[in-house]
Structure 1
Amino acid sequence: MSEKSKSIPLNTFPSNFGSGIIISKFRVTDLEFDKIKEAHRDDYHIFFLLEEGSGVFEIDFRRFEINSQSITYVQPYQVHRGLSLEEGLFTVLLISTESLHPEYLKLLKEITPANPLQLDTATFSIASKMGDLTSMIFCRQEEKLHNIILRDSCNSLVGFIISQFLLQSYTTDKPSRSETISKNFKLLVDQNFVHTKSPAEYAEKMNISTVYLNECVKRATGQTVSYHIHQRIVLEAKRLLFHSNKSVKEIAAELGYDDYAYFSRLFMKVTGMTALTFRNKNLE
């Protein structure tokens, strides 16, 4: 295993693309795959439309086999890497949060984490053609309204992709009050887990009682409020343990725990192993 850095590498959106959008079609032979195989984060959204070929990707410790006519979405700051990619053809869209339609941004937060999406031939063909059109617009930078046209075309593609993700979990029933509260709670956890740890603090943010919050989350997910808070904290700890050489004590502090021993007990309780065991187990 290569030497780990003090933090997980973070790629920021290239400053020379003022539109906040990059889209292009590649073949596997065009890639510097050694870089892709290294775990990293990005501060932008990635959509990967695989037209030909197959491969294996890892996103936050979950491995996915992807095949042709599939779309993979990686949200900002998820730790990911490509483990293998057979000869193939694909389109990659990179888009900054600022360039996304606010409603699409909200929906992307709701569907994350999302498994790769396998589409039928007709539906994927539409996405592919939309990607081709957006790529052509991306290259016509001399257009007077280039950034606006590009953003609109790109958001049309993103909207179509989101609609396909939503179809996978489509239900004719209107979301219950419990489901709505649970969804909003999990979004809050993702934004605040470093500094906000207790169910009561989240209930206060949502202007409801702790008992009612726990009741709604338990009804919607089968798990308690504390369970979801701890799962999010431990996910971040796993990212840092695997992809950086920070000590367990440093990671505990970064995640808002001054009491290193308490953090260690929490990690053990959630995963069934110590933080160091998790790290050593993954040193392959």
Structure 2
Amino acid sequence: MPLTKPNIPLVDIRTLSEHKEDVFLISRFGSYLAKHQNLHLAHRHSFYHLVFFTKGAGFHTIDFTRFETKPYQIYFMIPGQVHSWSFEGEIDGYVVNFSPAFFQSFLLRPDYLDSFPFFNNIVQDSVINLESPLNEKIKGLFEEIILHDSQKEVFQNDIIRALLLQIFILIDQNHFASKPQTIPQYNYALLKNFQKLIEKNYTNLKLPMEYADLLYITPNHLNALCKEHLGIQAGEVIRNRIILEAKRLLINQQTSISEIAYFLNFKDNSYFSKFFKKQVGITPEEFRKKTH
């Protein structure tokens, strides 16, 4: 049977909560691990997922990039990313899950979270080591969120949203604000729209000219933008997203290479395998063996 949708186990926030209508969850990470032990296996979320470690060691893998876990390290994950972990010793910290809808009624700009680099689907920007005194400040804000989450009070969710935004802004100011912002606003908007279009259409549209048409610019203009601000051409941006999804799907041993090729809209298994090997350096079969 053809594969019609990604088949990595998808965890919904409501399955993790005692209250099925919840769109927000916070927990101490030690308690969260004890309650959801199966979540160490590769899976993806339908929600935003934050983990702030205060104790422990091991490894955490996000979209096939492996990070060594250490105290005062914070992870930001967006819906759809695949991750798994392997921890050692006593682990503690905080975990926050919230649905995409959690901030939509609170902020006038629906893309507000996208303005933070750690929510931009760039894995290297989503894992941050916090140093003193910022780490204690962030820890205190997580404690405040836990306190307000345990109380039934007026504007409870708005207080929690404001505290979360304070965490986001503090980390952005301390880790990203010093980096020079060289992309003009118009070019930045074009690149963001290009990336959003890829996210929606990567299984069907694979050529830069197809995206350039949707953006009402020329393929040369799109290539120049990507080369200048991302360091790679538009075609490579598209191919990177296709390869990422292929890797995500290859984790599941029950799905055949032919089914994955069909889902990603390749004309046959052979063409997909050649494309994958050219980009990754190994065949899909070799990648699958390597990740198990």
TM-score (norm 2): 0.84
Q: Structure 2 CA distance, aligned partners of 1:77 and 1:160?
A: 25
Q: Which moved more, 1:218-227 or 1:11-20?
A: 11-20
Contact 1:97/1:105 (CA < 8 Å) preserved in 2? Answer: no
Are residues 1:60 and 2:63 paired? yes
Structural mapping, 1:8-157, within 5 Å: 8-14=8-14, 16=19, 18-27=21-30, 31-32=34-35, 34-100=37-103, 101=107, 102-108=110-116, 109-110=119-120, 112-113=122-123, 114-140=125-151, 142-157=152-167
Q: SS at 1:195's partner residue? A: coil
Structure 1 residues 233 and 280: CA distance shift in structure 2, 3 A? same
Q: C-alpha separation between the residues in 1 aligned to 2:78 and 2:23? A: 15
Q: Is the 8 A contact 1:107 1:162 kept in 2?
A: no
Q: Residues 198-224 of structure 1, C-alpha deviation per residue, up to 9 Å, x if partnerless?
A: 111111121110111112212223322
| Structure 1 residue matching 2:176: 3-state secondary structure | helix
Cα distance, 1:56 vs. partner?
0.9
1:24 and 1:80 mapped to 2: Cα distance? 19
SS of equivalent to 2:90: coil
Of 202, 208, 231, which aligns to 2:240?
231
Report if aligned partners of 1:39, 1:243 keep a CA contact under 8 Å in 2: no
Unaligned runs of 5+ in 2: 1-5
Answering whether residue 182 of structure 2 is matched by residue 174 of structure 1, we say yes
TM-superposed CA distance for 1:127, in Å, is: 0.9
Matches within 5 A, 1:197-212: 197-212=206-221
**Further displaced range: 111-120 or 122-131:** 111-120
Structure 1 residues 33 and 22, CA gap change in structure 2 (3 angstroms): closer
Compute the displacement of 1:240 (Å): 0.9
Q: CA RMSD in A?
A: 2.5
**In structure 2, how many angstroms separate the alpha carbons of the residues matched to 1:29 and 1:221?**
37
Partners of 1:135 and 1:60 in 2: CA distance: 29
User: Which position in structure 2 is the counterpart of 1:218?
Assistant: 227
Aligned to 2:260: 251
> How far, CA to CA, are the matches of 1:279 and 1:88 in structure 2?
29
**2:32–2:95: 8 Å Cα contact kept in structure 1?**
no
5+ residue gaps, structure 1, are 1-5
Partner SS state of residue 49, structure 2:
strand
Per the TM alignment, residue 270 of structure 1 is displaced from its structure 2 partner at its CA by 0.7
After alignment, is 50-59 or 32-41 more displaced? 32-41
- 1:143-176 CA-to-partner distances (Å, cap 9, x unmatched) read 2333333333333333434444524xx3334324
The change in CA–CA distance for 1:134 and 1:67 in structure 2 (over 3 A counts) is same
CA–CA distance in structure 1, aligned partners of residues 154 and 31 of structure 2: 33
Which AA in structure 1 matches 2:252? H
Aligned-partner SS, 1:31: helix
Count of matched residue positions in the alignment of Structure 1 and Structure 2: 275
Percent identity between matched residues is: 27
- Shift of the 239–173 alpha-carbon distance from structure 1 to 2, 3 Å rule, reads closer
Distance 1:67 1:32, change over 3 A: same
* Cα distance between partner residues in 2 of 1:164 and 1:245: 44
Shift of 1:190: 2.6
More displaced 10-residue stretch of structure 1: 28-37 or 85-94: 28-37
Given that 1:38 and 1:81 are in contact with CA atoms closer than 8 Å, whether structure 2 keeps it comes out as: yes
Contact 1:104–1:158, Cα closer than 8 Å, also in 2: no
1:49 and 1:91 in contact (8 A); partners too: yes
